[in-house]
């Protein structure tokens, strides 16, 4: 009976979590200022560019998330939950990092995905917090703090991960070439049964299946070129944090 | 074969098929719980492995109060003595395991609190690294325990609800225990800076 009660408690707790964790941004952004006013738009764009380039070259995803407060949760709990829900990092590598900052709690936490724990150990995360974030944040130099912190993360993770073949393929002319070739193939296949005139009944269904497959692949193309999505990485509670 | 035997055979067949599918479902959930339990144990083991280093660092860096250290060492010994097999995750066993580990958490937090009195130690790089590792491990334990509880919740709600409960009883799928938030768990090493 007691267990039933706890079961209920868990259910309520999971509901409460679902409401507290902010939604994954759409389109995906690596820098998420949900408070506003702490970084200028230029600074946000600069960080975004930097983290996007890092994702493109190493497949490692670093999400900077600024939320007003993590109350009533522990900041590490919140960061893990957010990282898992958004799926920061690649699914097969779990190489995501969430740098969570709660200005009204004056707390910062670096949460590391399962795959990053080896390179960016808890002790290194702690050092970044102590040596980079704290001194800068105390002087309200927020951009410098975040900028240097990401540099240090890059340093610790140097050589740990390679780019995914699928995500490196974002050179625009390569995609364009691929699309043109694909389009030609689709056109050739669609025109062929019409010219031959055989299989009247089944060719109809083939049209639609081809049509839908080309439609879905073009939407894949859109998502990979406009913004790189979070890959579904998971977190196990690694990382470190502190108050400033 | 007359009509009534056919009906009985039919009912038995449906019963058997349903039994098979609920058995398979329970096996899958049982395996999931076992996997999550392994992770819980790994994280507790990790904490246990950090403690000798921590004790040595504390002992070496300062003339540290003996009673706090021996409390940690003893709590560690009794916590590692409680070993629960993945096949035997009954509520009583989980409670026993948790009680032993919570005692160690309490002893550790007292150690980390008394460190405040030793400025040399607080500036010791080795100690700081160990402390951050310990903090990370506590966080990992929290996550592993949470995942375990979620998994047990899925298992229990299958194994205890009708009609699966009939097959669960038949094949010996017993109810499993949860980790429960306790007062001493609240006192797990929280380190302020």
Nearest to B117 by CA among B53, B66, B69, B65: B65
Contact A239 B157 (CB under 8 A): no
Query: Is it true that domain A2-164+228-243 has CATH number 3.40.50.2000?
Result: no
User: What is the pLDDT tens value at each position of chain A, 244 positions in all?
Assistant: 555 555 555 555 554 444 478 888 888 899 999 998 899 999 999 999 999 999 999 999 999 999 999 988 899 999 999 999 999 999 999 999 999 999 999 999 999 999 999 899 999 999 999 999 999 999 999 999 999 999 999 999 987 777 665 544 445 677 778 888 888 888 777 776 554 444 444 444 434 344 444 444 444 444 443 457 888 899 988 999 989 8
The predicted structure's pLDDT at residue A3: 56
- For every residue of A33-69, DSSP letters joined together read ESS-SSS-HHHHHHHHHHHHHHHHHH--EEEEEE-S-
Contact B136 A240 (CB under 8 A): yes
Contact A237 B139 (CB under 8 A): yes
Contact A76 B142 (CB under 8 A): yes
Sheet containing strand A235-243, edge to edge, reads A31-33, A61-66, A96-102, A107-113, A235-243
The predicted structure's pLDDT at residue B63: 77
> In this structure, are residues B71 and B109 in contact, taking their beta carbons and an 8 Å threshold?
no
More confident position, B75 or A178: B75
ipTM of the complex: 0.76
CA distance A225 to chain B (A): 35
- Is it the case that residue B190 has pLDDT exceeding 90? no
**Cβ-nearest to B140 among A121, A238, A243:** A238
CA distance B181 to chain A (A): 10
Mean pLDDT, residues B49-69 = 85
Its pTM surpasses 0.80:
no
Residues A236, B144: Cα–Cα separation, whole Å: 7
Listed by start position, the domains of chain A span 2-164+228-243, 171-226
């Amino acid at each position: 009976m007691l267990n039933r009660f706890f079961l209920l408690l868990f259910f309520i707790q999971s509901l409460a979590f679902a409401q507290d964790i902010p939604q994954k941004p759409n389109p995906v952004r690596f820098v998420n200022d949900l408070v506003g006013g702490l970084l200028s738009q230029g600074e946000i764009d600069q960080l975004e560019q930097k983290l996007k380039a890092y994702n493109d070259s190493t497949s490692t995803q670093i999400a900077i998330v600024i939320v007003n407060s993590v109350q009533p949760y522990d900041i590490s709990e919140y960061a893990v939950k957010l990282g898992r829900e958004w799926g920061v990092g690649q699914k097969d590598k779990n190489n995501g990092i969430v740098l969570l900052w709660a200005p009204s709690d004056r707390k910062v936490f670096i949460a590391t995905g399962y795959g990053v724990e080896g390179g960016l150990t808890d002790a290194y995360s702690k050092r970044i917090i102590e040596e980079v974030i704290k001194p800068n944040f105390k002087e309200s130099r927020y951009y410098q703090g975040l900028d240097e912190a990401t540099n240090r993360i890059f340093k610790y993770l140097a050589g740990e991960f390679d780019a995914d073949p699928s995500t490196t393929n974002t050179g625009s002319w390569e995609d364009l070439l691929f699309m043109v070739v694909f389009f030609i193939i689709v056109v050739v296949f669609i025109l062929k049964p019409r010219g031959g005139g055989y299989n009247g009944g089944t060719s109809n269904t083939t049209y639609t299946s081809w049509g839908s497959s080309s439609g879905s692949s073009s939407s894949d193309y859109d998502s990979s070129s406009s913004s790189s999505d979070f890959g579904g990485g998971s977190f196990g509670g690694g990382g470190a944090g502190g108050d400033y | 074969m007359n009509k009534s035997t056919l009906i009985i055979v039919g009912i038995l067949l449906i019963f058997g098929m349903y039994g098979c599918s609920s058995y398979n479902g329970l096996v899958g959930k049982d395996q999931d719980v076992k996997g999550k339990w392994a992770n819980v144990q790994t994280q507790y083991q990790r904490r246990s492995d950090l403690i000798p280093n921590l004790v040595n660092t504390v002992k070496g860096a300062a003339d540290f109060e003996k009673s706090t250290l021996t409390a940690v060492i003893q709590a560690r010994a009794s916590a590692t003595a409680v070993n629960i097999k993945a096949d035997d995750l009954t509520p009583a066993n989980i409670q026993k395991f948790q009680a032993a580990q919570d005692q160690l958490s309490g002893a550790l937090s007292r150690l980390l609190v008394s460190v405040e009195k030793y400025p040399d130690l607080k500036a010791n790089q080795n100690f700081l690294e160990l402390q951050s590792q310990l903090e990370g491990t506590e966080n990992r334990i929290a996550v592993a325990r949470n995942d375990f509880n979620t998994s047990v919740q899925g298992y229990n709600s299958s194994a205890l609800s009708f009609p699966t409960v009939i097959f669960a009883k038949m094949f010996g799928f017993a109810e499993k225990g949860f980790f429960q938030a306790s007062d001493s768990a609240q006192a797990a090493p929280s380190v302020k800076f």
